[in-house]
Structure 1
Amino acid sequence: MEQWFLYGVLALLPLAALSGFLMGRRQRKSEKDGSLSSNYIKGLNYLLNEQPDKAVDTFIDLLKVDTDTVETHLALGNLFRKRGEVDRAIRLHQNLIARPQLSGKDRNTALYQLGLDYNAVGMYDRSEKLFTELLDDPAHKSDCLVQLLHIHQLTRDWDDAAKVAEELQSSMGVEQTKPIAHFYCELADQKRREGDSKAALANLKKALSINSDSVRASLLQGQIYLQQKNFKQAIKSFQRILQQDIAFIPEALPKIAKAYKETKDFSGYKQFLNKSLEQGAGVSVLIELSKIVQKEKGDKAAALLIGEFLQERPSLKGLQRLIALHIEHAQDSARPSLQLLDDIVEKLISRKPRYECQNCGFHTKAIYWQCPSCKEWSSVKPIKGIEGE
């Protein structure tokens, strides 16, 4: 307790010193010297009696708002917010804004800081209003657009998020291609769930026009075409992923397989799998191809295909598939050992994450288009290597 009190005293000493300095300077210009001295001593008494909150309030009251102290008030408000004392920060910034002698520049800065205060406690309607008002101020426009974009994403207002991001990119030159495409994908997914496929496809068309490498847009587009039984268009959408980011092909495999099956184009599906492997697709594609080879040529040919792949690119998932093929033909004495090995590999696979954020390293078993940790868009990708693809 004594240690924390010492830290509190040390933290407040600069504020006390500044208050004393400004108070002393005013004492030479004011007839209320005794009153100021009394308040200053009162603040010191609060500090020494382990009442830091009252001490802070007393010292702040001594810092009358003028051109000499505006920056001090703003710095204190920022400090309060960072310490989690948002109510105090709000009160301080509101007090600043209420001062008629405050310059327009300082008032806008105080309004921006107040908006940050409201953001910190989740009062997004109030902060949104303040940031929108400040868009006419060139000094704060860029920062306000960033804050508005943050608010619209938190509140899942994707339409306004897209508009703000487009403004941020066009007028401020801040790259927003990937986020904007995702906002239109979010809108498309909403429309899809509502049963409005036409509006969903229109939003996906916008997403792809903004970012032609949007895997998410291709996946959603293919899914909608699949629901509409437009299998050729679905295949075309899914095939686009080969050029966009081949690492995401496993996400589309079940849907691609269904589309080819519905068109009875089994050779076309096999060609797609072979082409994917040639371009560097992972073990999930190999396993799918091995099932076709198994039907056409038997277990031995399928096992040979997987074995050749594993020599170049070791994979737990590939090993499990290879074990499954060998169990069927193993001698009775060897089968329990192979089954045990299969169970061990299955447990290893089930415990491992499938995706990793390329920005912050966040691991997950489910796909996220926006990283839950760092909030970056398009940064979560399938893990490659022995534990992944």
Structure 2
Amino acid sequence: MNQWLLYGVLALLPLAALSGFLMGRKHRKGKQDNRLSSDYIKGLNYLLNEQPDKAVDTFIDLLKVDTDTVETHLALGNLFRKRGEVDRSIRLHQNLIARPQLSSRDRNSALFQLGLDYNAVGMYDRSEKLFKELLSDPVHKNESLVQLLNIHQLTRDWDDATKIAEELQSSLGVEQSKPIAHFYCELAAQKRQDGDIKAALSNVKKALTINPDSVRASLLQGDIHLQQKSYKQAIKSYQRILQQDIAFLPEALPNIAEAYSNIKDNSGYRSFLNKSLDAGAGVSVLVELSKIIQAEKDDRAAAELIGNFLKERPSLKGLQRLITLHIEHAQDSAKPSLQLLDDIVEKLISKKPRYACHNCGFETKAIYWQCPSCKEWSSVKPIKGIEGE
């Protein structure tokens, strides 16, 4: 017998023991069933002959569905699902539901487990139907709402996700403003892609009403206004990020610069950058401001600005900008060394992640509004410090 088969047989022994126990109890009550006895022996023979699949089915059949064994069936189904044997779990739960003598409470428990089975194999239409049916059951309502919310997010059905999240918030009192705002942003992005700008802006407005601190909504609103050449409105939307979460400001900087450029307000852009730095913005804003000072004054003034900043807040990105400013004015003998240092810092920056999830620690170079690892909304944020902003 190979190692894995041995493990499988050992795992079935508790089930065999339980079947034997139930059979023995019936015998003590004077209800001995010869067929039950022969089937139990048959199950043991399957175990001994290294046929665990047949043994499982035999022992399950021996567990007559009644108030004493429903929990055992549900536990077995849960075990099968966790082991990846979802087909067997589905069959077991379907068998339970088909029993006419099952109480409504036990039937609903089996329905919920069957819904989890369907989720595990991606049969979301079937699981959605079951969980909707269970919304009328006070015992399973909240759990079913959670499962429905997960399904709608996985299938990107943002309208239904919004409705379920609102019902979940009302039912459980669990704050859902952040995910609901993201659902409206998802709808806005879809409408924008379809060319329905009015509907897109309407959904963004709903997102900001639900969660005034939604950086994503401000970015999206600013992008739409910029696309529509409503530059002042775009700037107004982007500026909101300073109060919402200034760490995300670098995401908007190129578009902010474009908006100010289109209204020919260079002094306004410079004033905005200075205001942002005073409010605690990171090195990306500093680099932008240094470019303006370099153009208006000279490299020395830009380098002085960067240097003063780095004394208080060391940054690889700031260091690279400082090296770039010094290369042009360095002696010929020093230029190769400075260029090498610049290349090294550039490689360090390019290899480092820019964002991290504050919930699970997931790191990435691209921004995600929902963490791909833990599925939490608004948990992925720009990294701060010497390797970030």
Distance across 2 between alignment mates of 1:51 and 1:385: 59
Question: Corresponding residue for 2:110?
Answer: 110
The DSSP-based 3-state class of the residue aligned with 1:112 is: helix
Cα deviation, 1:14-64, whole Å, max 9, x if unaligned, reads 111110011122234566632211111111111122221111111101001
1:224 aligns with 2:228: no
CA contact (8 A) 2:306 2:322 kept: yes
Question: Corresponding residue for 1:124?
Answer: 124
Distance across 1 between alignment mates of 2:40 and 2:274: 81
Question: Corresponding residue for 1:154?
Answer: 154
Q: Which structure 2 residues correspond to residues 26-65 of structure 1 after superposition, within 5 A?
A: 26-28=26-28, 33-65=33-65
RMSD: 1.2
Question: Corresponding residue for 1:18?
Answer: 18
Cα deviation, 1:148-183, whole Å, max 9, x if unaligned, reads 000000000011101100110012212211000000
Question: Corresponding residue for 2:322?
Answer: 322
Distance across 1 between alignment mates of 2:215 and 2:51: 57
Distance across 1 between alignment mates of 2:317 and 2:201: 35
Distance across 1 between alignment mates of 2:351 and 2:293: 29
Distance across 2 between alignment mates of 1:171 and 1:265: 50
Question: Corresponding residue for 1:233?
Answer: 233
Q: Which structure 2 residues correspond to residues 278-289 of structure 1 after superposition, within 5 A?
A: 278-289=278-289
Question: Corresponding residue for 2:274?
Answer: 274
TM-score by length of 1: 0.98
Distance across 1 between alignment mates of 2:218 and 2:31: 75
Letter in 2 for 1:9: V
Distance across 2 between alignment mates of 1:287 and 1:98: 68
Farther-moved stretch of structure 1 (5-14 vs 379-388): 5-14
Q: Which structure 2 residues correspond to residues 257-268 of structure 1 after superposition, within 5 A?
A: 257-268=257-268
State how many pairs are aligned.
Answer: 389
Distance across 1 between alignment mates of 2:229 and 2:134: 49
Question: Corresponding residue for 1:336?
Answer: 336
CA shift, 1:371, in A, is 0.6
1:99 aligns with 2:99: yes
CA shift, 1:2, in A, is 4.1
Distance across 1 between alignment mates of 2:118 and 2:303: 61
CA contact (8 A) 2:96 2:110 kept: yes
Cα deviation, 1:79-134, whole Å, max 9, x if unaligned, reads 11111100000000000001110000000110010000000000000000000011
CA contact (8 A) 2:26 2:32 kept: no
Question: Corresponding residue for 1:374?
Answer: 374
Distance across 1 between alignment mates of 2:31 and 2:283: 84
Distance across 2 between alignment mates of 1:35 and 1:139: 38
Distance across 1 between alignment mates of 2:271 and 2:228: 25
CA shift, 1:296, in A, is 1.4
5+ residue gaps, structure 2, are none
The DSSP-based 3-state class of the residue aligned with 1:381 is: strand
Distance across 2 between alignment mates of 1:159 and 1:350: 38
Question: Corresponding residue for 1:201?
Answer: 201
The DSSP-based 3-state class of the residue aligned with 1:356 is: strand
Distance across 1 between alignment mates of 2:231 and 2:314: 34
CA contact (8 A) 2:112 2:131 kept: yes
Distance across 1 between alignment mates of 2:4 and 2:120: 25
CA shift, 1:9, in A, is 3.0
5+ residue gaps, structure 1, are none
Distance across 1 between alignment mates of 2:156 and 2:219: 21
Q: Which structure 2 residues correspond to residues 60-79 of structure 1 after superposition, within 5 A?
A: 60-79=60-79
Distance across 2 between alignment mates of 1:37 and 1:170: 53
Cα deviation, 1:300-353, whole Å, max 9, x if unaligned, reads 000000001111111111111111100111111111111111111111111111
1:384 aligns with 2:384: yes
Question: Corresponding residue for 1:293?
Answer: 293
Question: Corresponding residue for 1:135?
Answer: 135
Question: Corresponding residue for 1:247?
Answer: 247
Letter in 1 for 2:333: S
Distance across 1 between alignment mates of 2:52 and 2:304: 75
Letter in 2 for 1:184: Y
CA contact (8 A) 2:78 2:113 kept: yes
